[in-house]
Amino acid sequence: MKTANNQPSKRDSFASSFGVLVALAGSAVGLGNLWRFPYLVGQNGGAAFILIYLGFVILAGLPVMLAEFIIGRRSHASARKAFQKLAPGTRWGIAGVLGVICCVFILSFYSVVGGWGLEYLYKAVCFDFTTGDDQALKTMFSGFSTSVWRPLLCHTIFLGLTAGIVIAGVQNGIEKFSKVMMPLLFLIVIGIAVRSMTLPGSGPGMDYLFMPDWSKVTSETFLAALGQSFFSLSLGSCMVITYASYVKKEANIISLCAQTAAADTVFALIAGCAIMPAVFAFGISPGEGPDLVFITLPHIFSQMPMGGVIAILFFLALILAALTSSISILEVIVAFCIEEFKMKRKVAVAVVFLLILVLGALCSLSIGPLDGWTILGRNIFDLFDFLSANFLMLICGLLFVIFVGWKLGRKAVFDELSNGGTLHIPAWLLKTAIFLIRFAAPAALIAIAVFQVKE
């Protein structure tokens, strides 16, 4: 077997550490920030949810990200193989396989929502939101999302774009695409936030985002916040393991992880500032749920000065954000197929494309004609979302921190975080990182799980 320092030359890698950062941030920043975060904030009472969310990013998200990074970079292998290399002869590989399964679930519904984004960009370009009538916009969205062919077509196009980037490889596909799109994405969303915050009557929206109201907090708020922190940082699904396996030994793990988490959190807050002030300025309730972005926002765009242009920019941003994330989810599954089944990249992309095309089609149809098919009281779309964000990702995250903190152990963690002592990282920082990985993250994850079972 080739060792970590003597990798097979055909294994792809990122070209620069800026490339690694934009790719990781590109994966983190996605529909989770622009679609999921705003409606969860709306449903869970605003600022209090945001504070709990931030707590989990630090206590659970960061340590899991560090753990995944260590696993990936130390092994230079993807998902299951990584565990096999680091702990030969054990069953830890199962944790990697669970992560890959989680990615299959996520990509299936993610691609459907990405497809909705494409449809809405098209509608925005055709100035379809000029009607200020809320009911008409509701009918427009439900008519579209419950129909059969058009959402399927959009899902296919979105998945095709994702596959087209991943087929070009890590350096030529993922890294190049993310380098151009991420700065553009930040610029667009900052522009929209400025427009939204300067609307007359936007003040209550800002209060909602930044003044906590603890009375709305329930035990479900905690699970939702934890699940969202994992979803938004792309954790517990082998994404960071896979990307880190393409990273050179010299990279500074703590700094890359902290920058990624910071970029994602800042982006989520900017997205909040782009959406909530406008929602309040037009006197609309923020607790709409998953439809917020597709019904409430078009309603607002139809009434706001320059709304037509803002609508185009918003849905463009949504698609760019979704694409830099969907490529990372696809890459996990593709890398797994390449390494486990010795497939060529092109073949692996084609096989996974077909698999997700079918599963995504089931998700899409489960909102329309197949909505009678329920498992655990949920349609397929909601089931995939629930199984991944509230279940598999958290279990995998727990397994990853336990693996790194307790199986690899302190010395290996010290070694990886300081690159064998060559990076001069202050002792308190190393100790804090190790404490978070060994104690804080497992405790937070187990506490939430116990709470959940008790409910």
The residues of the shown chain that bind ligand TRP, judged by CB under 6 A, are 27-28, 30-33, 103, 106, 231-232, 234, 237, 239, 325, 328-329
- Which has the closest alpha carbon to 246: 6, 15, 92, 452? 15
- Which has the closest alpha carbon to 438: 53, 56, 64? 64
* Pairwise CA distance, residues 148 & 128, whole Å: 21
Nearer to ligand TRP, 264 or 280 (CB): 264
Nearest approach, Cβ of residue 439 and ligand TRP (Å): 24
Nearest approach, Cβ of residue 99 and ligand TRP (Å): 8
* Pairwise CA distance, residues 261 & 28, whole Å: 8
Are residues 159 and 111 in contact, defined by beta-carbon separation less than 8 angstroms?
yes
* Pairwise CA distance, residues 256 & 202, whole Å: 35
Nearer to ligand TRP, 28 or 226 (CB): 28
Nearer to ligand TRP, 307 or 360 (CB): 360
Nearer to ligand TRP, 19 or 99 (CB): 99
Nearest approach, Cβ of residue 231 and ligand TRP (Å): 5
Nearest approach, Cβ of residue 185 and ligand TRP (Å): 12
* Pairwise CA distance, residues 41 & 47, whole Å: 7
Nearer to ligand TRP, 272 or 307 (CB): 272
Nearest approach, Cβ of residue 132 and ligand TRP (Å): 30
Nearest approach, Cβ of residue 160 and ligand TRP (Å): 18
Nearer to ligand TRP, 32 or 307 (CB): 32
Report residue 54 as tokens.
């931030």
Are residues 34 and 273 in contact, defined by beta-carbon separation less than 8 angstroms?
no
Beta bridge partners of 378: 375
Nearest approach, Cβ of residue 322 and ligand TRP (Å): 7
- Through-space distance between the first and last CA atoms of the chain, rounded to whole angstroms: 48
CB atoms within 10 A of CB 454: 7
Are residues 296 and 207 in contact, defined by beta-carbon separation less than 8 angstroms?
no
- Which has the closest alpha carbon to 95: 236, 189, 210, 209? 236
Nearer to ligand TRP, 145 or 326 (CB): 326
Nearer to ligand TRP, 328 or 366 (CB): 328
Nearest approach, Cβ of residue 103 and ligand TRP (Å): 6
Nearest approach, Cβ of residue 324 and ligand TRP (Å): 9
- Which has the closest alpha carbon to 21: 209, 247, 196? 247
Q: HSE-up of 88 (CA within 13 Å, CB side)?
A: 3
Are residues 80 and 336 in contact, defined by beta-carbon separation less than 8 angstroms?
yes
Nearest approach, Cβ of residue 366 and ligand TRP (Å): 20
Nearer to ligand TRP, 30 or 151 (CB): 30
* Pairwise CA distance, residues 289 & 39, whole Å: 5
Distance of CA 161 to the CA centre of its chain: 18
Closest CB to ligand TRP belongs to which residue?
32
Beta bridge partners of 375: 378
- Which has the closest alpha carbon to 59: 212, 272, 222, 218? 222
Nearer to ligand TRP, 137 or 165 (CB): 165
Nearest approach, Cβ of residue 133 and ligand TRP (Å): 31
Are residues 31 and 113 in contact, defined by beta-carbon separation less than 8 angstroms?
yes
The DSSP line for 155-223 is: HHHHHHHHHHHHHT-IIIIIIHHHHHHHHHHHHHHHHHHHHHHTSTT-HHHHHHHHS--GGG--HHHHH
Distance of CA 2 to the CA centre of its chain: 32
Nearer to ligand TRP, 273 or 323 (CB): 323
